[in-house]
């Protein structure tokens, strides 16, 4: 069992650790840590422990310029590595990622990349956050309602409070429910249907969020995102 007085300090980038340190010692987070310890005894959990906070470790809080919200990590072997919608080098593109790259090509003429690894975006300030940071193998949604959403809602509020001029990309109804956490008087919110094959044809294709994001950043005197993963 987790010692009630034991400090919980996840391996997370320093700016995030400082901003979120109160969360790590709240009861819900302690319960979440205990849940994950027990889950790992019985099930295969994705992503690997070292990658749970990959989005944070690749995009420090002061560097965040764009937030892309996902829901769950991928639940197939070798797919999840801590960045929403992203897969490691050499892993076939899941259907939603295929559609993201299709829209990217249609919007900016960027060729479909060789790899579905979005780390290059993350290192430019695109914070690739899933609402739930872990999942059981082959069981989508299996770690929802265990505390992750409380934590990631606080992450969104922290970005909203401490940063300004951030572009939030809310794709699909689940992500769009997070809009009340964002101060829209000082941030930008772009909404579209989810890139899943079930909904991409209802307005994700043609949303032009990649070019619109860069227009907003440029207007605010910030460098645009280089969305081309092949460079």
Residue 211 Cα distances to 48, 101, 167, 224, angstroms: 33, 13, 12, 9
28: which residues sit within 8 A by CB, 6+ positions away? 147, 150, 151
Specify the DSSP class assigned to residue 78.
T
The token pair that represents 192 in the structure block: 């579209």
Beta bridge partners of 189: 168
Residue 176 Cα distances to 39, 40, 42, 62, angstroms: 30, 31, 34, 24
Specify the DSSP class assigned to residue 58.
H
Which one of the listed residues 22, 72, 89, 153 is annotated catalytic? 72
The token pair that represents 171 in the structure block: 């794709």
Rounded Cα distance, 71 and 77, in Å = 18
Give yes or no: 72 in active site: yes
The token pair that represents 9 in the structure block: 């300090």
Rounded Cα distance, 78 and 229, in Å = 20
Rounded Cα distance, 143 and 96, in Å = 21
Element (H, E) at 181: none
Rounded Cα distance, 151 and 84, in Å = 16
Active centre residues (catalytic): 72
């Amino acid at each position: 069992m987790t010692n009630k007085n034991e400090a919980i300090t996840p391996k997370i980038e320093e700016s995030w650790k400082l901003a979120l340190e109160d969360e790590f010692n709240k009861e819900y987070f302690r319960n979440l840590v205990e849940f994950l310890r027990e889950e790992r005894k019985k099930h295969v959990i994705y992503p690997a422990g070292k990658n749970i906070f990959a989005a944070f470790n690749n995009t420090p809080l002061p560097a965040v310029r764009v937030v892309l919200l996902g829901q769950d990590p991928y639940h197939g072997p070798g797919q999840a590595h801590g960045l929403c919608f992203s897969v490691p080098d050499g892993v076939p593109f899941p259907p939603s990622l295929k559609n993201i790259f299709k829209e990217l090509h249609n919007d900016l003429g960027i060729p479909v990349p060789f790899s579905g690894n979005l780390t290059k975006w993350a290192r430019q300030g695109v914070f690739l956050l899933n609402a739930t940071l872990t999942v059981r193998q082959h069981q989508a949604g299996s770690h929802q309602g265990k505390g992750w959403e409380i934590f990631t809602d606080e992450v969104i509020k922290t970005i909203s409070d401490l940063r300004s001029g951030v572009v939030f990309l809310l794709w699909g109804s689940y992500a769009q429910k997070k809009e009340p956490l964002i101060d829209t008087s000082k941030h930008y919110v772009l909404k579209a249907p989810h890139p899943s094959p079930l909904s991409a044809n209802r307005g994700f294709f043609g949303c032009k969020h990649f070019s619109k994001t860069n227009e907003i950043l440029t207007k605010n005197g910030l460098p645009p995102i280089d969305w081309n993963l092949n460079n």
